[in-house]
Structure 1
Amino acid sequence: MNILSVFLLALAMSADAFAAAIGKGAMLHRPRLVEALRTGIIFGSIEAVTPLIGWGLGRMAAGYVTAWDHWIAFAILSILGVRMIWSGLKPDTSDHEKPRSHSFALLAVTALGTSIDAMSVGVSLAFLDVDILPVAAMIGIVTCIMVSIGVLLGRMLGSASKHSAEIIGGMLLIGIGSLILYQHLSSLTG
């Protein structure tokens, strides 16, 4: 994977965390930079660890599926992309009261929920024999930045942008999966 692919993957992985951060920011009364950075660090750290876990699991199974690795990566990324697009298209029906503050536990659970797709991506990257450490670091850094921005923008933007971020992130995942498949199939014919 080249640096652009890694960045786009990181951007796609951070989209649902960004969307959640907008919601978290909208729930706070005048979110401050310190709260935004704290939230970003929690989300970014978890988002960086989950692809490592997925990659480890994928490496254990990689020997059994090397003939199909590109199709597996394409399928996983496409399914996650479609899921994100679907989630972005659904209307927001939650009507919760605003919390007084966000606890570490609440942020960690939210971050874990938004990072399950990063674990699946880690599995698919194991099949492609990608150096996972720079990819996981990029995912963590981009997520930290995007979540910090999302918290600060949440108050102004509300929930409308949340859906757009999920749709764009889903399209990026499908695009990356398609690129992986195309590169593999074109290397067979070339």
Structure 2
Amino acid sequence: MNPVSVLLLGFAMSTDAFAAAIGRGAAMSRPRLSQAMRAGLIFGVIEAITPVLGWLLGKGASRYIEAWDHWVAFGLLLGLGLHMIWNGFKPEPAEPVDEAKQHGLVGLAVTGLSTSIDALAVGVGLAFVDTPIAVVALVIGLCTFCMVTLGIMLGRVLGAMVGKRAELIGGVILIGVGAVILYEHLAG
């Protein structure tokens, strides 16, 4: 993967966290920068760890499917991208949430983990291609930190509609990264 693909992957992986952060920011009464950075740090660390875990799982299985590895990576990224696009079209739940629980450490960690499942699957897919997982994980974590911090601060202004659009864009980017991986392997 080239540096542009890694950066695009980092931003694609952070879009669902960005969408969640916008929702959180919209639900908070006047979020402070320190609150936004705390949430960004929690989300970023979780989002950086999960692709490494997925990569380790994928490395264990890679020797068995080496001939199809590029197709596996493409299929996983395609599936995740389509899932993100599907979620981008689903309406937001209208149930009220307890703000103290939602913005506490456990609430942030659970939300961060739920938005990082796709990064776990991407890590599995990246195990089948020659990718420096530490660099990819760091980029994903940093992108997520920045996007969540920004999302919370913009949440009151932008609301949930932009969050849904961000998830749609992230899904399209994931599909594009998968197509680039497939193209680079088949052309090389």
Question: 2:122 and 2:165 mapped to 1: Cα distance?
Answer: 21
* Secondary structure at 1:64 match in 2: coil
1:22 Cα shift? Answer: 0.4
1:95 Cα shift? Answer: 2.9
Contact residue 27 and residue 98 of structure 1 kept, 8 A: no
Question: 2:151 and 2:103 mapped to 1: Cα distance?
Answer: 15
Share of identical aligned residues, percent?
55
Aligned residue type for 1:115: S
1:129 Cα shift? Answer: 2.5
* Secondary structure at 2:64 match in 1: helix
Question: 1:55 and 1:12 mapped to 2: Cα distance?
Answer: 17
* Secondary structure at 2:107 match in 1: helix
Relative to structure 2, which stretch is displaced further, 178-187 or 132-141?
Answer: 178-187
Map 1:52-131 → 2, pairs under 5 A: 52-97=52-97, 99-100=99-100, 102-131=103-132
Q: TM-score, normalised by structure 2?
A: 0.97
Map 1:158-177 → 2, pairs under 5 A: 158-177=159-178
Contact residue 85 and residue 170 of structure 1 kept, 8 A: yes
Aligned to 1:178: 179
Question: 1:85 and 1:58 mapped to 2: Cα distance?
Answer: 25
Structure 2 unaligned blocks of 5 or more: none
1:98 Cα shift? Answer: 5.5
Aligned residues: 187
Aligned residue type for 1:66: E
Question: 2:12 and 2:35 mapped to 1: Cα distance?
Answer: 23
Question: 2:93 and 2:36 mapped to 1: Cα distance?
Answer: 25
**1:60-92 superposed Cα distances (whole Å, 9 cap, x missing partner):** 111001100000000000000000001001122
Aligned to 1:143: 144
Aligned to 1:17: 17
Question: 1:185 and 1:57 mapped to 2: Cα distance?
Answer: 24
Question: 1:149 and 1:90 mapped to 2: Cα distance?
Answer: 23
Aligned to 2:4: 4
Question: 1:98 and 1:63 mapped to 2: Cα distance?
Answer: 47
RMSD after superposition: 1.0
Runs of 4+ in structure 1 over 6 Å off: none
Q: TM-score, normalised by structure 1?
A: 0.96
Relative to structure 2, which stretch is displaced further, 61-70 or 99-108?
Answer: 99-108
Question: 1:119 and 1:6 mapped to 2: Cα distance?
Answer: 15
Question: 2:118 and 2:97 mapped to 1: Cα distance?
Answer: 28
Aligned to 1:49: 49
Question: 1:91 and 1:60 mapped to 2: Cα distance?
Answer: 38
**1:79-129 superposed Cα distances (whole Å, 9 cap, x missing partner):** 000000010011223231461461100000000000000010001111102
Question: 1:139 and 1:129 mapped to 2: Cα distance?
Answer: 17
1:151 Cα shift? Answer: 0.4
Aligned residue type for 1:50: T
